[in-house]
Structure 1
Amino acid sequence: MDQMVISRRSLLSSATLGAAAAAATGVGMLGGTPAAANPLPDGATSPTVLDGLAVAKYSVMVPEIFVAPQAVPTHMPALVIGSGFGGSIAALRLGEAGIRTAVLERGLPWPRDPNRAIFANDALPDGRALWHRRSFTGISGVPVATPKFGGVLDATDYANIQVWRGAAVGGGSVVFTGVLIEPEERFFRTVFDDRVDFEKMHEVYYPRARARLKASPMPDDVYRSQPFGHSRVWDAQARKAGFEPQPLDSIFDWDVVRAELDGRSRSSATIGESNYGNSNAAKYDLTQNVLPAALATGNVSVHHSHVVDAIGRDSSGRYWVDIRVIAPGGKVQQTRRVTCDRLFLGAGSIGTSELLVKAKALRTLPALSGAVGTGWGTNGDAALVRTCSLSEGLTQGSPSASRVLDETGLPLSLENWYVPGLPLNVGLIGSLGMVLDSTRASFRWDAATKKVVLDWPRGGNDRVVAALRAVHDKIARANFVGTGFPGLAPDVNASFTAHPLGGVVLGEATDTFGRVNGYDGLYVVDGAAIPGSTGTVNPSLTIAALAERAMDDILARGI
C-alpha cells in the first residue's frame, strides 16, 4: 500500500498552510500550468476567501490528502476508471494476472486514524463532506452550507432526482452504510432475466465477494450496546406489526466498533458517522482490503485527483483518456491525454454512463450501441422516518442491524437505518426503503449545454413512495407512533437515490459479461451494467460479485 499510505510525520512537515492556499488557488502543486478551459470540476465557481481558509484548515487536519498524485504513464496495457467496488476488483484481478494497470480516481486518498476526525460529521458537515458543492440537504432535512472542497460525497442534481455517489479513493465503499446482502433468487431473476446465471452467482460469486469484503452480521454484544438502542426499537416495532427482522451482513469491523465502545478509539460508527466516511477504519472499506491487495501485486498503481473528462479510440486501436489533475480545492493543475490497450469503466452508473453517452454523441466512440445511456433506475430508494420512538442513549450507531421484506404490493424491503443528528435523542427512527420498481430513465447529450443529462420523469418515484408509505404506516399504527418530522423530514423521502444503477446494461449495451458492444478491449465493470435495480437490496455486493464474474470471463477468454 506504499502508493496510498505515506508517513504522517513527512506529510505534516510538507503540508503547510501555504501549500493549502496554493491548492485552493491552483498554483504550483504539481508544477504544471493550470488549464485555461474547464478550470474547476463539475462547473464549480471560483474559490472564495472562505474556501481558501477552509483548505488551509483541512491541510492541518488531514495533510495526507494534499500529497500530489503519482503521475500516470503515457501509455498503459490497462486503465481502470474509478476505484469503487467494480473498479477495484477489476484492478486486483488484472494485477494478479500480471497486467500492468493504472486506476484513475477523481477523489482524494483519505487516511484512517483512531484519534483524529479525518472526515466530516454527518450532522454538521463541512467541506470534507461534499464534492465541490456549497450546499446540501441530506437525510436529516436540514440544509447545510459548506466551503467548496474535494469532499467524499458527490450529490448531483438531475431533473426530478438527486444522485449520491462516492468521490474518494475507494469510491462508494467510503460513504455507503456498509450493508452487503444477496437478493432473493426470485427478485434477481426478475431484474436480470436469463442474462446472468443466479445459481453460479449464489454458489461462486456472491460467496467470493462476501469473503473478500469480510461480510458479517452485527454481533450480539454490539447490538445490545447503548448506541444501538434504536436498532432494538426498530426491530421491536417491526415485530409488533407482524414482520420478522432478518439480520444483515455488513462491511463494518466490529473490533473497531468495540474499541469505540470501550473508549480505545475516537467515536465514529457509534455516534452516527458514515455518509461522509468513518475516520477510525470502523468501516472496512476498499482501501483496507481490495486496493491494498491490488497494489501488493506490484502491477497496479492508484492515481487520485484524476478527473476523466472524455474517452475515445484512435486510429491505431488504442483507447485514449482525457484527464484533469485537480488540487483538493478544485483548481486544475494539469491536463493530459493517456492511452491504453484495454479500458475498464468502473466510474459508477453515473460516471460510466456519462462518459459513454458523450463519446457516442461526439463520435469519439461512434460504433456504440443505441442502448448506451438507457435502463437507468434508482433501485427504488427512499428514506423513511418515524417519530415518538425513544431509544436508549443519546446517539444512534450507523451500522444497520436488520431488515424486513414485504410482498403485499410491490416487493420492497425496509432496513434499520440511523438518523444522523446532534447528541440529542428526539425519538426518531430511520429506515432505508428499496422497492422493486420498474421505472427507468435514459441519459442523453444536450448539445446546447454540452453536458450529459438524465431524463428522470416527474413523478417517477410516486409508486415507490406509495408502496413504502403503506408498509411504513402499518408499522406506525401498530406501535401508536407518528411518521415524518414536521418542517424537516417527510415520512417518505424519494427525492434522491444513493444507489444509481444502469445506463450501460448487461445484455443490451454490452454482452452478458460487460464487454461493450462494438468495441474490443472496452469493458463496464460497475453499477452501470445493472438494469436499474438489485431486487430490493443494496447494490454493493452484487456489483462486487458481478465484477468478479466479469473478470473471470474476460481474463479466461479475452475480448
Structure 2
Amino acid sequence: MPRLASKLSALKPKYPIVVVGSGYGGGIAASRLARAGREVCVLERGREFQPGEFPDNELEASRSSQAEIPGLAKGRIGSRLALLDWHIEKEFNVLRGCGLGGTSLINANVALEADPKVFEDPRWPRALVTDLDGPLRDGYRRAREVLDPKPYPGDWPKLPKLEAHRRSAEAMGERFERVPINVSFEDRVNAFGVEQSKCTLCGDCVSGCNYGAKNTVAMTYLPDAWNHGAEIFTEIEVERVEARDDGLWAVHYTPVAKGCAFEADAERVVLAEIVILAAGTLGSTQILLRSRAHGLSTSACLGEGFSGNADVLGFGYNTDHRINGVGAGARGPDPRAPVGPTITCAIDGRTAARPLAEHFVIEDAALPGAIDAIYARALDGASEAWGEDTDGGAIDYLSERHRALRSRLPGGARHGAVANTQTYLGMALDSGAGKLHLDERGRLRIDWPRAEREPVIEALNARILAATAALGGTFVPNPTWSNHFESCLVTVHPLGGCAMAEDASVGVTNHKGQVFRGTAGAAVHEGLYVADGSVIPMPIGVNPLLTISAVAERSVALLAADHGWTINYDLDHRPVPPREPPEPPGVGVRFTERMAGFVSLVDPEQPHERAYAAGEDAGTSLSFVLTLSTDDLDATLDDPAKPMTLDGTVDAPALAPEPLQVSGGRFSLLSADPEQLDTTNMIYAMTLTADDGRCWSFRGVKYVHDDRGLDLWRDTTTLFVDVHDQDGALVARGLLHIALADFARQLSTMEATGTQSRVERLEAVTRFGRFFAGSLFDTYADVFAGPSVFNPEAPPRKRRPLRTDAPELHYMFTSDGVQLCLTRYRGGDKGPVILCHGLGVSSRIFTVDTIDTNLVEYLFAHGYDLWLLDYRASIELAASADPASADTVAAIDYPEAVAEVRRLTGATSVQMVVHCFGSTAFFMSMLSGALTGVRAAVASQTAAHVESAPLVKLKSGLHLPTALAALGVDTLTAATDRDARWYEKLYDRALDLYPVDDDERCASASCHRISFMYSLLYEHDQLAVATHETLHELFGVASVAAFDHLARMVRAKQLVDAAGSDVYLPHPERLAIPLRIIHGAENACFLPAGTKKTYAWLREHNDPELYSYVEIPNFGHIDCIFGERAATEVYPHILDHLERNL
C-alpha cells in the first residue's frame, strides 16, 4: 500500500480542520470530513508502519518499546516513536499504540457492542441516550461497514485455544461465543483500495500485523481520508491548543523524530478553524490539561472519570491441554500448529439475569512471539511465587514438572508448559474513579488509590481461576497485580478523562464532543472537539473500540450537520481523478541545525559584519532551529545544488514576538558561487510567517572557500542573512553562527531515513556527514561508533599524578579472617574522614585521574586526613568474589575499620563519607549498634528506606539474583575486554537490548554491563569522555549474594537483613548524629523518594536539626562522586557538612 504521510516540510501554516491523533476517533473524523469535501490535516505522534515493519524478534521488540515513567526524573525511556507505548504509575499502568493508526495497530481488534444497559447509567448525556436507536445506532452500523468485523470462520482450522476456552465456559456454566474481530479471512483489495492478505493465524496481532490482515484504522479510515484529500503528517507531537482572538485555534506542536530533535527546538504552530482532539484517553486529556495550564477555560472535571475498563490479565499455566498460545514471531506461521488471531472467543457473562455491575467477559488471547524466549522462566517463576495450582496428585505433579522442563529447552515456548498455557483477558465495569492530572513538571499522572482492590477485580480474577481449573492448570494472575509489584493494574482499554456529560459541572464535553467553556453551564468552545475514548464517561465492560467508533461517527455526523456539510457515506465513491500516491521514499538523511546571531533593522544595506555588530549593540537577535532533510541521498550527493527541504521556526523578536513558522524551505547544499573563484555556497531560502499573517522571505548563505585549513570551521558555521518583507524590501541583515556545542549536537541528530538495516543507516549518515562537514564530521563522528571494549593488548595509559602527598597503605585482617585495606591521604589534621565506596567498585572512585579534581584531591586541599576503606566488596580485594551480604560489612568490616583508624590516629571519633552499598552498610551498622565512634557522616544515594526505579523493581520482583544463583552464577562483572570468551561476548551483545533512554545510549560494553547490573549509574553528559572510556578500570566483579540482599531491600522498601527480616529500623535513636544525605535528582537506580523518607523518619524520631538533605540537579548516582563537574556542584555540599562537624 502507498505511504500516506507527507513530509513535515509540506505542512501548511493553516487548515480549516486539524485532527490530532489517528486512532479510531481521529481516523473517523479525517475520513468523514474529507468525504464532506473539507480540507483536513491529520497530526500523529508516531511513525507510519507498513505490513512487514512490525517487530517480530527480541531486538526489534526492545527497540519498539517506550515507557513514560513520571516517577523518574527524566520521565521516559525509549524512543518517543516506539510502537508499544507504556505509561507506568504506582497504581496503574497503561499500554497504548504509537503510530499512524493508533492503538488499532496493536490491539486484538475485537468489535463488540456495549450492552444497552450501559447507556442507562446517568453519567451519559441525555441527548445521546435518547437517540440510541438513531444516530448512535447509525454510528455502530457505519463503523461496522468500514472495519468489517467477522467471527473466526467455522470452516477454518480448529484452534486449540478456542476449544479450550469453550471447555472452560461449559465448566463454568457460562455462555460461549466467537467474537467479531476486524480481521480479513480472504485475500482482497478492500473498499479503500488497500491490498490485504488473509489471516495467517500467526497469533501476533498485538505486536502489529506483518501480513496486512488486520482491518486497522491504517488499513481503512486513514487511506479513505487520504483518498479524499486529507493531508497526513507523522512524527509530530501536539503539546496544547490555544484559542486566538480572531476565532482560530493555534495548535502548538513539536517534531519528535531524532533528526528533528534539538534541545532548543521551539514549539511550532499550525492554525485551524476546527480542531478535533483524538489522541486517545491519555493524549487528549493531557493536551487539554496543558492547554488549561496556559489559560484555556475548561470544566473542573477535566481528567476525572478515568477507567481501565476493569481489564484483568491472567494465565492458565501448564494446563493438561495443548493451547498453542504463543505467536509465531520471526519463525513465521506454522500451518501444523495454528495459533489463530490473538482473540477469537469469549466467555460472556453479560446476561439479562445479572445486574450490570456483575457483567463480565473473559476472552482467550495469545502472547506475541517476538519475546517468546522469556515466557518459560517468567511463567514458571511466577507460578512458583504466586500461582495457584487447580489440580493435584503425584502423577499430575510429575507431568507438570516434565512439561515445565521441556519449555526450558530451545524453542520451548512452543512445547511443554508454555504450549499448554491459556492467556486470558477479562473485562468488567470498574468504578471509573481514576483521575488524570499534570505533575509539577507538566507530565501526565494517573491517580487511583487502591484500584487493584476494587471488588470487580477480585471477582474477575476468581472467574479466571475457575476457567483455569476447567483445564487443570495453575492460575497465575498478572504479575504486576501481585504483592511483589505493589498490586499494580494494567489496562489496554483506558477510558475517560474528557467525559461527555450534560454540562460542565459533571463533565468535560457535551454529547457532540464539544469542549465545555468554563466550570458550569453548557457553553462550549466553538471549533474544539474531542473524539476518542476519553469522552466515554464510564467503563463499558467489553473491548471498547466499536463503541468509541460509534460515538465518534455520531459526533462527526452532528458536526457536519451543524455546519451544513454533507458526508458521502457510499464506500464505492472514489475521487475522480484518483489521487496519485507519492513515490516511495528512498534512502535519505535529516538533521537539525541551530544557529543564532544578530541582525540590524536600522541600516540593513550595510555589510553583513557591520550589521551584525549594530544588531548586537541594539540587542536585535535572530535565531533558528531548522530540520534539513532529503529523501534521495544519492541524488543530493550527485547534485549538491539540488535543494533539500527545510522546516522549523525562526525566533526574531524584532519582527514578531512569537516564533515565526517556516514554510517552503529549501536548502542547497553546495552551489557554485558565480562571483567568487573556488567558492561554493550553502543557501537557505524560506518563507517566515507570523501568527498575525505577516510574511517575510529569508535568505541565508554560507560561503565555503576551497582554501582548506581551519577556515572550514568558520565557513560552515557562519551564515550571512538577509530578510525581505512582502514587498521585496530588505528589512534585516546580519550574521548567524553555530556554537561548537551546537555543532556536535547537530551531528548527533543526523539520522538516515528509508533504510532497512543498521549498517545501511550508518553508511548513509557517514556518507552525508563527510560530504557535508568534511573533517569536521570525523572530529565528532564518535557518536556513530560501534561497540567499544577494553583492549588488553593496548599499552597502559599515562595517568596524571594526583595533587596529594604519597598515600600510606594499611592492611588489616578482620575477626573472620578477611583482609581489608585502608589508604591514607593526610592533607591535614581535620577529620579523620573515612570514605567508603559502593558495590562492584573500589576506593579508586574517589581518586579518578580522568577529571580535573577528584574528591580526595578536593578534601586533601582543605586540610583533611582521609582514609579510604576498601572493605570486602571492593574489586581490589580477593574477597569481592566470595558470597557476602551487607550484614557482614555492617557487623564486621565497618566497626573494625573505624576502630583501626581511631587506634592509628588516636582520634576519639571519625567522620564518614559513604556511597551507595557502602552507605547502606553504614546505616545498618549504626542502626544495629555495631558501629560507634562516628561523630558525623555524609551519605550518598542510599539510606534506610528504598524507593527504586521500575527496572530495578522488575529485576528484584522477579528474584533475578536468586535465579542467577540457581544457575550457578555467583558473581557478575562489569569488566570487558577484546579477549572475552564467546559467551561473554554474547552477553554483551544481548545487553544491547537493555532499555535505556536514547540520550543515554553509548557504545561502551562496560557501560552496558553496568546499566544491566545496577541500572544507569550516571548521566552521560556528567562524565568526562576519559572517565567513560576507562569505566573498565573502575567497575568489576560483584557478588550475587550482595545483589540478592539488595533485591530483598528493594522489595521491602527498607533495610532488612539477608533473610528479609526487619532488624535495623527499630532503633532510629542510634543514628542521632549530624547526618547529611545527598542524592542525584536523575538517579535511575535508587530514587530520591527513598532517602527523603529516611530524612523525614530521622527528623521525626531525633533532633531535626541534626539532619540535612541536598538533592543534586542534573546528576545521577555515581557521577556525584566522579562526574566531570562534581568538584563544583557536589563536593562543596560534602565539605560544608564536614566543616560544620569538625
TM-score (norm 2): 0.39
Q: Kindly state the Cα deviation for residue 329 of structure 1 after the two structures are TM-superposed.
A: 7.3
Pair 1:192–1:488, CA change in 2 (3 A): closer
User: Do structure 1's residue 477 and structure 2's residue 469 form an aligned pair?
Assistant: yes
User: Do structure 1's residue 209 and structure 2's residue 143 form an aligned pair?
Assistant: yes
SS of structure 1 residue aligned to 2:10:
coil
Aligned to 2:538: 532
Pair 1:489–1:319, CA change in 2 (3 A): closer
Q: Is the 8 A contact 1:441 1:455 kept in 2?
A: yes
Pair 1:301–1:3, CA change in 2 (3 A): farther
User: Do structure 1's residue 176 and structure 2's residue 68 form an aligned pair?
Assistant: no
What residue identity is the alignment partner of 1:355? I
Pair 1:460–1:312, CA change in 2 (3 A): farther
Aligned to 1:97: 36
Q: Kindly state the Cα deviation for residue 102 of structure 1 after the two structures are TM-superposed.
A: 0.4
Distance in 2 separating the partners of 1:281 and 1:406 = 32
166-175 or 387-396, larger mean C-alpha shift: 387-396
Q: Kindly state the Cα deviation for residue 358 of structure 1 after the two structures are TM-superposed.
A: 1.5
What residue identity is the alignment partner of 2:275? L
What residue identity is the alignment partner of 1:340? A
Q: Kindly state the Cα deviation for residue 280 of structure 1 after the two structures are TM-superposed.
A: 1.3
Distance in 2 separating the partners of 1:515 and 1:354 = 16
Which structure 2 segments of 5+ residues have no match? 70-76, 189-195, 327-338, 373-412, 502-506, 518-524, 565-1142
Q: How does 1:216-255 map to 2 (within 5 A)?
A: 216-222=150-156, 224-225=157-158, 228-255=159-186
Q: Of 45, 57, 66, which residue of structure 2 is paired with 1:106?
A: 45
Identity of aligned residues (%): 26
Per-residue deviation, residues 527-558 of structure 1 (Å, max 9, x unmatched): 1100131x211111111111110011111114
User: Do structure 1's residue 453 and structure 2's residue 445 form an aligned pair?
Assistant: yes
Q: Kindly state the Cα deviation for residue 360 of structure 1 after the two structures are TM-superposed.
A: 1.2
Distance in 1 separating the partners of 2:22 and 2:209 = 18
Distance in 2 separating the partners of 1:345 and 1:331 = 24
Pair 1:2–1:470, CA change in 2 (3 A): closer
What residue identity is the alignment partner of 1:78? I
Per-residue deviation, residues 400-436 of structure 1 (Å, max 9, x unmatched): 1111223667321111111335341321101111111
Aligned to 2:434: 441
Q: How does 1:492-531 map to 2 (within 5 A)?
A: 495-507=489-501, 508-518=507-517, 519-531=525-537
Aligned to 1:336: 268
Pair 1:457–1:122, CA change in 2 (3 A): farther
Aligned to 2:748: none
Per-residue deviation, residues 122-178 of structure 1 (Å, max 9, x unmatched): 7775345224779xxxxxxxxxxx964622121012341111111100111111111
Pair 1:132–1:160, CA change in 2 (3 A): closer
What residue identity is the alignment partner of 1:509? V
Per-residue deviation, residues 276-325 of structure 1 (Å, max 9, x unmatched): 21111121211211111111112x11100111112111222211111111
Distance in 1 separating the partners of 2:555 and 2:137 = 15
SS of structure 2 residue aligned to 1:442:
strand
Distance in 2 separating the partners of 1:266 and 1:2 = 16
Alignment RMSD, CA only?
Answer: 3.1
Q: Of 58, 77, 87, which residue of structure 1 is paired with 2:26?
A: 87
Q: Of 238, 244, 248, which residue of structure 2 is paired with 1:314?
A: 244
Distance in 2 separating the partners of 1:268 and 1:119 = 16
Distance in 1 separating the partners of 2:18 and 2:148 = 27
Distance in 1 separating the partners of 2:293 and 2:243 = 14
Per-residue deviation, residues 473-526 of structure 1 (Å, max 9, x unmatched): 223334433211898996998621101111111112111110111211100111
Q: Is the 8 A contact 2:20 2:42 kept in 1?
A: yes
What residue identity is the alignment partner of 1:346? A
Q: Of 1, 9, 12, which residue of structure 2 is paired with 1:73?
A: 12
Distance in 2 separating the partners of 1:85 and 1:254 = 21
Q: Of 423, 429, 440, which residue of structure 2 is paired with 1:430?
A: 423
Q: Is the 8 A contact 1:252 1:282 kept in 2?
A: yes
Aligned to 2:740: none
350-359 or 402-411, larger mean C-alpha shift: 402-411
Aligned to 2:693: none
Aligned to 2:661: none
Q: Kindly state the Cα deviation for residue 456 of structure 1 after the two structures are TM-superposed.
A: 2.0
Aligned to 2:310: 380
SS of structure 1 residue aligned to 2:430:
coil
Pair 1:107–1:199, CA change in 2 (3 A): same
Q: Is the 8 A contact 2:167 2:470 kept in 1?
A: no
Distance in 1 separating the partners of 2:359 and 2:259 = 44
SS of structure 1 residue aligned to 2:464:
helix
Pair 1:334–1:152, CA change in 2 (3 A): farther
Pair 1:123–1:245, CA change in 2 (3 A): farther
Distance in 2 separating the partners of 1:487 and 1:154 = 19
Pair 1:330–1:231, CA change in 2 (3 A): farther
Matched pairs, number: 469
Pair 1:386–1:123, CA change in 2 (3 A): farther
SS of structure 2 residue aligned to 1:504:
coil
Q: Kindly state the Cα deviation for residue 180 of structure 1 after the two structures are TM-superposed.
A: 0.7
Aligned to 2:291: 359
Pair 1:394–1:86, CA change in 2 (3 A): closer
Bigger CA radius of gyration: 2
Q: Kindly state the Cα deviation for residue 254 of structure 1 after the two structures are TM-superposed.
A: 1.4
SS of structure 2 residue aligned to 1:76:
strand
Distance in 2 separating the partners of 1:542 and 1:179 = 11
Q: Kindly state the Cα deviation for residue 230 of structure 1 after the two structures are TM-superposed.
A: 1.3
Distance in 2 separating the partners of 1:452 and 1:558 = 34
Pair 1:154–1:488, CA change in 2 (3 A): closer
Q: Of 336, 342, 363, which residue of structure 2 is paired with 1:415?
A: 363
Distance in 2 separating the partners of 1:184 and 1:372 = 26
Q: Is the 8 A contact 2:304 2:496 kept in 1?
A: yes
SS of structure 2 residue aligned to 1:98:
coil
Pair 1:127–1:420, CA change in 2 (3 A): closer
Distance in 1 separating the partners of 2:310 and 2:516 = 28
Q: Kindly state the Cα deviation for residue 246 of structure 1 after the two structures are TM-superposed.
A: 1.4
What residue identity is the alignment partner of 2:462? A
Q: Kindly state the Cα deviation for residue 256 of structure 1 after the two structures are TM-superposed.
A: 5.6
Distance in 2 separating the partners of 1:215 and 1:495 = 29
Pair 1:461–1:218, CA change in 2 (3 A): farther
Aligned to 1:119: 54
SS of structure 2 residue aligned to 1:355:
helix
Q: Is the 8 A contact 1:123 1:420 kept in 2?
A: no
Aligned to 1:554: 559
Q: Is the 8 A contact 2:84 2:95 kept in 1?
A: yes
What residue identity is the alignment partner of 1:538? N
Q: Kindly state the Cα deviation for residue 89 of structure 1 after the two structures are TM-superposed.
A: 0.5
What residue identity is the alignment partner of 2:527? G
Q: Is the 8 A contact 2:114 2:544 kept in 1?
A: no
Aligned to 2:383: none
Pair 1:193–1:103, CA change in 2 (3 A): closer
SS of structure 2 residue aligned to 1:126:
helix
Distance in 1 separating the partners of 2:325 and 2:446 = 40
Q: Is the 8 A contact 1:268 1:280 kept in 2?
A: yes
TM-score (norm 1): 0.77
Pair 1:478–1:173, CA change in 2 (3 A): closer
Pair 1:484–1:157, CA change in 2 (3 A): same
Q: Is the 8 A contact 1:325 1:334 kept in 2?
A: no
Per-residue deviation, residues 203-262 of structure 1 (Å, max 9, x unmatched): 42211111111111111233x34xx211211112221221221121111111269xxxxx
Pair 1:267–1:393, CA change in 2 (3 A): farther
Distance in 2 separating the partners of 1:517 and 1:286 = 28
Distance in 2 separating the partners of 1:488 and 1:436 = 20
Q: Is the 8 A contact 2:14 2:270 kept in 1?
A: yes
